[in-house]
């Protein structure tokens, strides 16, 4: 079986702490995730981007040695990631953002629905960031999501009009091991919206927990109180 190569790859300058394979959403190419890739690679994680092909991303991850390996999907890429997980793919974990709940055709959401970040809006306005529409898939049924055997971290904007937060949360609740993070006043492109720095920081914290062997065990936490002098 041949495995497709990523369309873009960002690698750390020093030690690799894990491998992340990103599955792009509707009409997206690698430049959409350049800021994300550079930021996570600066923290020690290799970031590869695949164009609307979760199967290829999962196969590529299966052939690498570093751990953890994590599958990431945004928009329809999130639906595809959830599908391959429900079919038995077992990376060490997965991250989904802007999970769609009611796909109406394959049209890309309007840029203003996707982000309020001026830098990201500029990227979305370039021809290099876009590709032709491809066939998309719905999120798997609840019974299929219940079969997912790896921890999943989900991000979703509280002001997402493309995929409303409450509806997306209800869908994702079928995943057995799910952490859902709400981006306050966030729009659809949760990885690249105005809160992109906080989202990236939350991802790194989750990845470090995943590396520890117990994703539910905190690496850092708020102290109960300051000891008396």
Q: Of 108-112, 157-161, 186-190, 203-207, which range is least confident? A: 108-112
Considering the entire predicted model, what is its pTM? Answer: 0.95
Q: How many CB atoms are closer than 10 A to CB 123?
A: 18
Q: Is residue 228 part of a domain?
A: no
Residue 156 sits in a domain whose CATH number is 3.40.50.1820
Contact (CB, 8 A) for 18 and 44: yes
The two three-digit tokens of residue 69, written as one number: 């390996």
pLDDT tier for residue 184 given thresholds of 50, 70 and 90: very high
Sign for the CA dihedral angle at 221, 225, 227, 229 comes to positive
Is residue 38 domain-resident?
Answer: yes
Note whether 30 and 47 are within 8 A (CB). no
Show the domain range for 175.
Answer: 8-211
Conformation bin of residue 27: beta by default, left when phi > 0, alpha when psi is -120 to 50: left
Residue 227 maps to a domain: no
Average pLDDT over residues 16-31: 94
Check residue 2 and give its pLDDT.
47
pLDDT in tens, 165-183: 999 999 999 999 999 999 9
Q: What percent of the chain has pLDDT over 90?
A: 82
Q: Tell me, what's the pLDDT at 105?
A: 59
Q: Are 187 and 193 in contact (CB under 8 A)?
A: yes
Could you tell me if residue 226 is inside a domain? no
Fill in the DSSP letter of residue 33.
G
Q: What pLDDT, on a 0 to 100 scale, did the predictor assign at position 67?
A: 86
Rounded mean pLDDT of the chain?
93
CA distance 30 to 22: 9
In a domain, residue 224? The reply is: no
Residue 104 — very low, low, confident or very high, per pLDDT cuts 50/70/90? low
Confidence of residue 190 (pLDDT cuts 50, 70, 90): very high
Say how many domains are in the chain.
Answer: 1
The CA distance from 47 to 12, in Å, is 9
pLDDT in tens, 200-212: 999 999 999 999 9
What was the pLDDT predicted at 118?
97
**224 alpha-carbon distance from chain centroid:** 32
Q: Is the pLDDT of residue 147 over 90?
A: yes
Structure-token pair, residue 12: 């750390």
**What are residue 48's DSSP bridge partners?**
9, 21
Residues 112-145: tens digit of each pLDDT: 999 999 999 999 999 999 887 666 788 999 999 9
Q: Which pairs from 205-208 meet CB under 8 Å and 24+ separation?
A: 206/93, 206/95, 206/153, 206/179, 207/17, 207/18, 207/45, 207/68, 207/70
* 31 within a domain of the structure (yes/no): yes
pLDDT top residue among 51 and 225? 51
216, part of any domain = no
Report yes or no on 175 lying in a domain: yes
Identify the three-state secondary structure at position 72.
Answer: strand
The DSSP 8-state label assigned to residue 192 in this structure reads T
């Amino acid at each position: 079986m041949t495995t497709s190569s990523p369309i873009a790859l960002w690698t750390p300058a020093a030690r690799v702490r894990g491998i992340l394979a990103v599955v792009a959403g509707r009409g997206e190419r690698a430049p959409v995730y350049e800021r994300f890739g550079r930021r996570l690679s600066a923290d020690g994680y290799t970031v590869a981007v695949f164009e609307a092909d979760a199967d290829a991303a999962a196969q590529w991850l299966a052939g690498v040695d570093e751990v953890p390996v994590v599958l990431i999907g945004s928009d329809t890429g999130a639906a595809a990631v959830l599908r391959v997980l429900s079919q038995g793919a077992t990376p060490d974990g997965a991250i989904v953002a802007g999970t769609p709940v009611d796909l109406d055709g394959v049209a890309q959401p309007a840029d203003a629905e996707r982000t309020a970040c001026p830098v990201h809006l500029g990227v979305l306005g370039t021809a290099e960031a876009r590709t032709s529409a491809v066939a998309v898939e719905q999120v798997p049924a609840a019974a299929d999501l219940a079969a997912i055997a790896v921890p999943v971290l989900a991000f979703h904007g509280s002001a997402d009009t493309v995929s409303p937060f409450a509806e997306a949360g209800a869908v994702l609740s079928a995943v057995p091991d799910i952490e859902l993070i709400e981006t306050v006043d966030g729009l659809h492109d949760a990885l690249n919206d105005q809160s992109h720095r906080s989202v990236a920081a939350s991802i790194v914290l989750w990845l470090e927990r995943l590396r520890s062997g117990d994703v539910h065990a905190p690496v850092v936490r708020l102290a109960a109180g300051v000891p008396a002098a």
